[in-house]
Amino acid sequence: MEYTGISNFTNYRSRALETFITANDVFTPDELDKICEIMSRKELFMGQVAIEQDEEILKNSRKSNIAWVSPDEETVWIFRRLNKVIEDVNNNHFNFVLNGYDSLQYTEYSAKYEGKYDYHIDSFLGANPPPTMIEFRKLSFTFLLSEPEVDYKGGQMEILVSHNGPAVPIMKKGSILFFPSFLLHRVAEVTEGKRKSLVGWVTGPKFR
């Protein structure tokens, strides 16, 4: 039964919006290797936070190297596969009004520089959003390209869903984690190796 309005049944109402959903085996092992090979040729630069902060805050809150990935002859098949999964996950679990996304962010967190990204949200709340946020970010996803405990240690995704503490989704190489962009989340410090992922934000009109 689809949640369509005000409900007087607490248990049902509490299940109306999923906290997060994980999709597995969307890409084959050979396809994952191909994606990793494509990303290995990207020129990386230091990741930044979207809002203005002084350099010391930036240095301490986010330590990662990134590259932007747009759909082209080499990568369009990745976007097409992701699009189908995004539509299915949204229709079955979130039911947001979504318009799309124009790029992915390839991200590396390395133990060499204590890679991490402290708690943050992907949406912008307020009257003056950054100029790069043309539409409202609604659904975030992280596509993991490294195997936890094999390629890296630490670096777990944590989503703050209640005062009792964060949820830690179980992920493996190839997992795609979806969650509402307004939830606080972080990537914990990578203590060994390198964590690689593709990150995206699907946008749409403001919530109503």
- For the segment 36-84, what is each residue's pLDDT rounded down to a tens digit? 999 999 999 987 665 555 555 556 888 999 999 999 999 999 999 999 9
Domain region containing 175: 18-204
Residue 71 within a domain:
yes
Question: Around Cβ 89, how many Cβ atoms within 10 Å?
Answer: 19
Residue 64 within a domain:
yes
Which 3 state secondary structure label does DSSP give 120? strand
Residue 2 within a domain:
no
Which helix or strand (DSSP H or E) is residue 83 part of? helix 76-89
Residue 7 within a domain:
no
∠ CA(103), CA(115), CA(69), 5° rounding?
15
pLDDT at residue number 12? 55
Counting the structural domains of the chain, the total is 1
* CATH number, domain containing residue 91: 2.60.120.620
This prediction has a pTM of 0.87
Alpha-carbon distance of 5 to 66, in angstroms, equals 40
Residue 24 within a domain:
yes
Contact 27, 39 (CB under 8 A): no
